[in-house]
Amino acid sequence: MDRIELVFGSLDMLILRTLRWGATHGHGIAKSIERMSEDTLKVEHGSLYPALQRLQQEGWITAEWGVSKNNQRAKYYRLTALGRRQLVSETSRWERFVRAVTGVLRPAESEESQ
């Protein structure tokens, strides 16, 4: 399957979005992004970790050690109230961006259909 590279800056948003369903560990976040995008988005698991540090510094997520389903010690990330607000504003910005790009691209199609 042909995978698409992430647009710069969108990883933060995807991580925040994933954490909306509850706290999870790095592996869980990676899997969840893959699953939600139906394996279209290519996320190198390693690239999550710098992003996770950054989000912590911003105060959008917090980290805590916990125990996974398989009784394994793992670090769980949790969305903060600040992160939740950030997600809302990021999402609306993203939607505006997508709408704008789509708006630019669409006229070509509509001209053909006329």
Partner 1 sequence: MSWRRHLAKLVALFRRPKTVDDLQEEILVHLQMEEQENLESGMSPAEARYAALRRFGNVALAQDRSREMWGWNGAETLWQDIRFGLRQLKRSPGFTAVAVLTLALGIGANTAIFQLLDAVRLRSLPVSNPSELTVVRLADLPGRRGSQETVYPALNNPLWEYIRDHQSVFSEVLAWSPTNLGITEGDHERLLQGLWVSGDFFKVLGVQPVIGRLFSSADDQPGCGASGVVVSYAFWQSQLAGDPHAIGRTLTIGRHPVPIVGVTHAGFTGPEIGHSFDVAVPICSQSAYWRDGNWLNSSTDWWLTVMGRLKTAIPCPWRMRVSNLYHPPPLKQAFARTTPPRTSGTTCISNLRPIQLRGVSPGCVIRTRIPFGCCWGSRLWCS
**Applying CB under 8 A, what is the total number of residues that bind partner 1?**
26
- For 108, phi and psi rounded to 5 degrees? -55, -45
Task: Work out whether 96 is an interface residue with partner 1 (CB under 8 A).
Answer: no
What Cα–Cα distance (Å) separates residue 10 from each residue in 41, 43, 82, 87, 113? 11, 11, 18, 11, 33
Question: 65, 105, 107, 113: which one contacts partner 1 (CB under 8 A)?
Answer: 65
Contacting residues toward partner 1, per CB under 8 A? 25-27, 30-31, 44-47, 49-50, 52-54, 56-59, 63, 65, 68, 70, 72-75
